Chains A and B, each alone.
Chain A
Amino acid sequence: MSSAPLRESPPQAADNGAIRAVPSYCYNCVAGPDLMTVRVENGVATRIEPCHAAAAIHPGLGRVCVKAFGLVQKTYNPHRVLTPMRRTNPRKGRDEDPGFVPISWDEALDTIAARLQDIRARGLVDEAGLPRVAATFGHGGTPQSYMGTFPAFLSAWGPIDYSFGSGQGVKCVHSEHLYGEFWHRGFTVCADTVHTRYVISCGSNVEVSGGVCAVRRHADARIRGVKRVQIEPHLSPTAACSAEWVPIKPKTDPAFLLALVHTLLFEHERSALDLPFLRDRTAAPYLVAANGYYLRDPATGKPLLWDETSGGAVPFDTPGAHPALEGRYTVATAVTRGPDNEISPLEAASARTALTAMADAMQSYTADWAAGVCDIPAGTIRRIAAEFLDNACIGATINIDGETLPFRPVAVTLGKTVNNGWGAYECCWARTMLATLVGALEVPGGTLGTTVRLNRPHENRLLSVKPGEDGFMAAHFNATDRNGWMAQPSGRNAHRTLVPILGNSPWAQALGPTHLAWMFSRAAPTEWPTPNLPEIWFAFRTNPAISFWDTAEIGRAMARMPFIVAFAYTFDETNHMADILLPDATDLESTQLIRIGGTKFVEQHWAHHGVALRAPAVAPQGEARDFTWISTELARRAGLLERYNAALNRGAAGAPLKGEGYDFSLATDRAHDVDTIWNAVCQAATAELGGTAEARDLDWFKQHGHYVVPFKREDWYLYPTMVRLGLRFELPYQERLLRVGEELGRRLHEHGIHWWDRQLDEYVALPQWHDVPERWVQAIRDLGADPADYPLWGITTKVMPYTTGNNAGIPLMHEVSANLRGHGAVVINAATAARLGIAAGDRVEVRSPIGSTTGRAALVQGCRPDTVVIPGQFDHWKTPFAKDLAFPSLNTVVPMSLALTDATGSGADVVRVAVRKLRAEAGAP
């Protein structure tokens, strides 16, 4: 670590008499954090400004997106809940008035603490082994940047069930999270936009949800001349800002991507691919036996490859070997290792390389075949493949930080609905293989992972790479062997039981099939004990009653929760079911230090990393309290103070308070005030980053806002680490997934569980096309309806002012969004609308077998005629302001079912719908 900051942030805080400028950050969406300044006049926050002092270190020049400008209205929203409240109506439900009455903080906290102490006395887990306390936080881990020291409280408590989802799996790029991190430590994946020349973007709406840094990087790239081809059913802002828009039939992206792979393999010279990369950095030369498993050396168990020099099979790591990339070979003696460690000795075993196996599997996926599936001309598919290959610059190198690295300026990115639910595995694999075939994985210009969440440390994904078996990175799957498999779930979504690839790190549970927790709370599988509902459910910055699929059902499930503690900003559809409301001090009112820079989610690629303070710009409104104070008080009253302080000392607030050469530990026997805690964290974090002499206290941060040290650009790329450790990417062949899937199937069947069989089909070594869209057609039949009655695809999209901002109640966001087409409307192709007798502005009903939603029709040309788009997530019935908008929401009509759940536990925002004009209200402006 550098001993000194490259850039000492100049003081940002200004105090010009009545006007102050207070440094802060915005981390309302996962594409942050970005730095900002709050302007305060006579004690009132009046406006948000960029952090111009960070222009030299922040890839977005210290700017914040439109959402941040809503924070002033958010602070002064007259609808805020500003005192703790208690429910007086024991009956819960949408139609029940909760009868909230104000109570004191003492009463609120003592009520919660008494329940917590009662639980501790009876045991932290119930008879079924499930945690009695559950917690749900909103979008992408961002609530952690606003919950102060609550993680220390959670850590002090012990087991907590994070399995009640609020959108995970259906609102995120779920399969990318899992497979991306497995294959190349890419919890999210992006193009190396600052270097790339050609991007195939399947529905990745980066200009809307990519955040400030991505928007700037892509804009710069456009000026440079990068060609981005946007493949998606409607003309999103990202498609608008691309060189080409290719309207694809929803959910057929796997076919498109497989056809690109086919075209590269069969319609171009093999020598046009990056053969050295395939040979040395992937498992392409590994020999695959007829039974589907790698041929292994009987003595060492290592996978074999065919050495062209010796003309025989040798272990993959044999020095001096010259591996054959393709071909079929006969190996005299070998073994395979199947499920449950079943070793099969083979004599004169016929085998083919993994690359040959892959080519065999891809042979039928021609551009002409895909054209019929995707409704994209075959010539377009071939051209895109050729352009991709042409721009890959195979053989070229680039100097980064003094290191010579491959330069492969082509990338493939995937959007949300491409990247979750059925078909997502195939898309993730094909995308990663497209990069791999041309050596464009994790190198400058190519397709990159950004950060890790299932592996650790979160701050530096490169350090998460450890040598594992078979020449690959270590993977941390949940056990599927007979002894290790968790037959009885440890959480209500059974993530360790059903989804091996998730592992069991702190983030894993919330990335499991989180809708199962809701579904099983009503009717659990007969093979398992009925899960008791958690005795306390904490909810913060989350509104699953709006943001999940089949929101009506989620609302009903929520109403069954016995005791809900909701940190409440305003009344909303979720805290309508709560028992206690706690008003936390919001963005501009509270204190927290977070990590910034390095490589983070989406496209935050900095040349620095460090920490930034969110200083309170104004006093909390009403009785709202800083989350750190709330956490400390909860810990104290629940008898957890010592454990809570110990967790803080360990680093639960973002930095260990004791390290080499410094010790800012807090005494564990007393409650510390907010500033004392963050003063220690500030000093420890800066000492960790820059050395003891660099320690900066809270007052320094209140003046300067942030502190950074250099982050090597080379560390944006995983490739140098793979080379240094002599590791191969676990591609193209998925022997591990094949084995794990087989084992999982055996375990489930041994326990009489067959309702997950559909998901087991996804565990294949080489992805194959299955009729992905048909699954959504079948879903209509499963609901007892006739698909002919639901002739259109319903999908959703985002707009920046609302993306993951939880700000539907902020009038400014509504006003500026109204400048964008389709805001609060049903976007429909003009010709389709004409056919249905729908005029612009007519109120229309979008219906699926589970319900309907209504909104104005917005007629466009930039949408497939067979598709309607409902932007955002609305249909609020409780949130003030938002409930009066009468906006539609796809969530209301998307069914939630096991059949639409893929093997990773995710679904997709897709549904077959019918659209009709509401005649009585026709002609509304």
Chain B
Amino acid sequence: MTRYVMVADLRRCVGCQTCTAACKEGNGTPPGVQWRRVLDLESGTYPDVRRVFVPVGCQHCANPPCLEVCPSTATRQRPDGIVTIDYDLCIGCSYCIMACPYDARSLIDRPLYAFGDEPTPAEAARIRHQTSGVATKCTFCAKRIDAGVARGLVPGQDPEATPLCVNSCISGALSFGDIDDPAGPVADLLAENQWFRMHESEGTEPGFYYIWDKGTL
């Protein structure tokens, strides 16, 4: 089986938001909608304070709460674990947004543009990507993966078959691949390092792993 997962190495991430920008531009998401973003969190009390940058987005859960609540079956799950939204089915009820424990989904009522009411030529060129009135979220760049795989490329290894955020990540924090492929780009990473998944107690079985130290679990 193939199960695509994202791995974020929190030791590496510097919070630069390059992935955020690359995702926004590559997927043509409107202002305010971020399928990938990096949180800037702080814990502790001065002077014993830690600050950490946490890439977030759709966790492509094995047990997605969004899928469970979706009344229209627009939200689905592919055999490779990628959770998708069928924009032609979605009624835009936003219920999936409320059900996601990871705050990963968005919905806009009308098209939005960077500089106001009119799209720039670049926005106009990609307007088909901008979807209003339906829920949207990170797709793991599924179309890119599918096109790459069709050409015999390996997701997470070959840039043309890899999500844009991973391609853009300057610190090497983001990795992607088939967790069931022992020779793939993420298997060793997860085997050799300690990781957690967000809100593990939810039982959602996220496909998004956070590495925090070396060593095995």
Task: Consider the complex of A and B and state whether they touch directly, i.e. have CB atoms less than 8 Å apart.
Answer: yes
Interface string of B159-192 (1 = CB under 8 A from A): 1000010011111110000000000000000000
Residue of B nearest to A821 (CB): B40
A79 x B115 contact (CB < 8 A): yes
Q: For the complex, is A881 an interface residue (Cβ under 8 Å from B)?
A: yes
A76 and B51 in contact (CB under 8 A), knowing A63-B170, A223-B11, A860-B42? no
Chain A nearest CB, measured from B104 CB (Å): 14
B159 partner, pick from A45, A52, A811, A831, beta carbons under 8 A = A52
Chain B nearest CB, measured from A654 CB (Å): 26
Q: Once bound together, how far apart are the Cα atoms of A218 and B115, in whole Å?
A: 36
Residue of B nearest to A60 (CB): B170
A76 x B122 contact (CB < 8 A): yes
Within 8 A of A (CB), among B142-169: 159, 164, 167-169
Interface string of A33-68 (1 = CB under 8 A from B): 000000001101111111010000000110111100
A861 x B24 contact (CB < 8 A): no
B49 x A861 contact (CB < 8 A): yes
Within 8 A of B (CB), among A844-902: 860-865, 881
A65 partner, pick from B16, B24, B172, beta carbons under 8 A = B16
Q: Once bound together, how far apart are the Cα atoms of A200 and B170, in whole Å?
A: 23
Most buried by A among B21, B24, B45: B21
Q: For the complex, is B14 an interface residue (Cβ under 8 Å from A)?
A: yes
B-chain residues with CB within 8 Å of residue A75 when the two chains form the complex? 122
Q: For the complex, is B31 an interface residue (Cβ under 8 Å from A)?
A: yes
B22 x A820 contact (CB < 8 A): no
Chain A nearest CB, measured from B183 CB (Å): 20
B40 x A65 contact (CB < 8 A): no
A-chain residues with CB within 8 Å of residue B126 when the two chains form the complex? 41, 46
B51 x A812 contact (CB < 8 A): no
B40 partner, pick from A66, A70, A820, beta carbons under 8 A = A820
The segment from A236-244, A310-318, A593-601 that touches chain B is: A236-244
B-chain residues with CB within 8 Å of residue A220 when the two chains form the complex? 172
B49 partner, pick from A48, A219, A862, A881, beta carbons under 8 A = A862
B26 x A47 contact (CB < 8 A): yes
Chain A nearest CB, measured from B101 CB (Å): 19
A820 x B167 contact (CB < 8 A): no
The segment from A108-116, A208-216, A554-562, A744-752 that touches chain B is: A208-216
A44 and B121 in contact (CB under 8 A), knowing A50-B167, A219-B172? yes
B-chain residues with CB within 8 Å of residue A42 when the two chains form the complex? 125
Residue of B nearest to A212 (CB): B170
Interface string of A216-247 (1 = CB under 8 A from B): 10111011000000000001011111000101
Q: For the complex, is A72 an interface residue (Cβ under 8 Å from B)?
A: yes
A-chain residues with CB within 8 Å of residue B49 when the two chains form the complex? 235, 245, 860-862
B-chain residues with CB within 8 Å of residue A66 when the two chains form the complex? 16-18, 20-21
B-chain residues with CB within 8 Å of residue A70 when the two chains form the complex? 21
Q: Once bound together, how far apart are the Cα atoms of A67 and B20, in whole Å?
A: 11
A800 partner, pick from B17, B52, B118, beta carbons under 8 A = B17
Most buried by B among A66, A238, A829, A831: A66
A50 and B42 in contact (CB under 8 A), knowing A800-B16, A801-B17? no
A50 x B168 contact (CB < 8 A): yes
Chain B nearest CB, measured from A40 CB (Å): 9
Q: For the complex, is B80 an interface residue (Cβ under 8 Å from A)?
A: no
A237 x B114 contact (CB < 8 A): no
Q: Once bound together, how far apart are the Cα atoms of A92 and B124, in whole Å?
A: 39
B24 x A812 contact (CB < 8 A): yes
B46 x A865 contact (CB < 8 A): yes
A-chain residues with CB within 8 Å of residue B168 when the two chains form the complex? 49-50, 63-64, 69
Q: For the complex, is B71 an interface residue (Cβ under 8 Å from A)?
A: no
Q: For the complex, is B68 an interface residue (Cβ under 8 Å from A)?
A: no
Q: For the complex, is A817 an interface residue (Cβ under 8 Å from B)?
A: yes
Q: For the complex, is B39 an interface residue (Cβ under 8 Å from A)?
A: yes
Interface string of B103-132 (1 = CB under 8 A from A): 000000000001110101111111000000
A815 x B32 contact (CB < 8 A): yes
Chain B nearest CB, measured from A190 CB (Å): 16
A77 partner, pick from B12, B20, B115, B173, beta carbons under 8 A = B115
- Interface size in chain B (residues, C-beta < 8 A): 53
A-chain residues with CB within 8 Å of residue B172 when the two chains form the complex? 61, 216, 219-220
Residue of A nearest to B56 (CB): A819
Within 8 A of A (CB), among B1-54: 9, 11-12, 14-18, 20-22, 24-26, 28, 31-32, 34, 37-40, 42, 44-47, 49-53
B-chain residues with CB within 8 Å of residue A238 when the two chains form the complex? 14
Q: Once bound together, how far apart are the Cα atoms of A900 and B45, in whole Å?
A: 34
A819 and B18 in contact (CB under 8 A), knowing A44-B122, A222-B11? no
Interface string of A589-615 (1 = CB under 8 A from B): 000000000000000000000000000
Q: For the complex, is B199 an interface residue (Cβ under 8 Å from A)?
A: no
Q: For the complex, is A192 an interface residue (Cβ under 8 Å from B)?
A: no
B115 x A223 contact (CB < 8 A): no
Interface string of A259-294 (1 = CB under 8 A from B): 000000000000000000000000000000000000
B38 x A78 contact (CB < 8 A): no
A-chain residues with CB within 8 Å of residue B24 when the two chains form the complex? 69, 812, 815-816
A831 x B21 contact (CB < 8 A): no
B115 x A881 contact (CB < 8 A): yes
Chain B nearest CB, measured from A217 CB (Å): 10
B-chain residues with CB within 8 Å of residue A812 when the two chains form the complex? 21, 24-25, 114
Q: Once bound together, how far apart are the Cα atoms of A203 and B204, in whole Å?
A: 41
Residue of A nearest to B15 (CB): A237
Q: Once bound together, how far apart are the Cα atoms of A310 and B99, in whole Å?
A: 86
B-chain residues with CB within 8 Å of residue A69 when the two chains form the complex? 18, 21-22, 24-25, 168
Q: Once bound together, how far apart are the Cα atoms of A216 and B169, in whole Å?
A: 9
B173 x A219 contact (CB < 8 A): yes
Residue of B nearest to A52 (CB): B159
A78 x B120 contact (CB < 8 A): yes
B52 x A240 contact (CB < 8 A): yes
A73 x B120 contact (CB < 8 A): yes
A862 x B38 contact (CB < 8 A): no
Chain A nearest CB, measured from B166 CB (Å): 11
A46 and B122 in contact (CB under 8 A), knowing A216-B172, A235-B51? yes
Q: Once bound together, how far apart are the Cα atoms of A424 and B115, in whole Å?
A: 42
Q: For the complex, is A626 an interface residue (Cβ under 8 Å from B)?
A: no
B-chain residues with CB within 8 Å of residue A222 when the two chains form the complex? 11-12
B-chain residues with CB within 8 Å of residue A218 when the two chains form the complex? 171
A801 partner, pick from B21, B124, B159, beta carbons under 8 A = B21
Q: For the complex, is A207 an interface residue (Cβ under 8 Å from B)?
A: yes
Q: Once bound together, how far apart are the Cα atoms of A340 and B172, in whole Å?
A: 56
A-chain residues with CB within 8 Å of residue B167 when the two chains form the complex? 49-50, 52, 63
Chain A nearest CB, measured from B132 CB (Å): 17
A831 x B51 contact (CB < 8 A): no
Chain A nearest CB, measured from B176 CB (Å): 15
Chain B nearest CB, measured from A820 CB (Å): 5
Chain B nearest CB, measured from A800 CB (Å): 4
A816 and B17 in contact (CB under 8 A), knowing A219-B171, A223-B214? yes
Residues of B within 8 A of A (CB): 9, 11-12, 14-18, 20-22, 24-26, 28, 31-32, 34, 37-40, 42, 44-47, 49-53, 114-116, 118, 120-126, 159, 164, 167-173, 214
A selection of 29 A-B contacts at a CB cut-off of 8 Å is A46-B125, A47-B26, A63-B18, A64-B170, A65-B16, A65-B18, A66-B17, A72-B122, A76-B123, A78-B116, A212-B170, A215-B14, A215-B170, A220-B172, A223-B11, A237-B16, A238-B14, A245-B47, A247-B46, A247-B47, A812-B24, A813-B21, A821-B40, A830-B46, A860-B42, A861-B44, A861-B45, A862-B51, A863-B46
Residues of A within 8 A of B (CB): 41-42, 44-50, 52, 60-61, 63-66, 69-70, 72-73, 75-79, 207-208, 212, 215-216, 218-220, 222-223, 235, 237-241, 245, 247, 800-801, 811-813, 815-817, 819-821, 829-831, 860-865, 881
- In the complex, given contacts A77-B115, A862-B49, what are 18 additional A-B residue pairs having Cβ atoms less than 8 angstroms apart? A41-B125, A41-B126, A44-B124, A46-B25, A47-B122, A49-B164, A49-B167, A72-B122, A76-B120, A207-B16, A222-B12, A240-B14, A241-B14, A812-B114, A813-B21, A816-B24, A817-B17, A819-B15
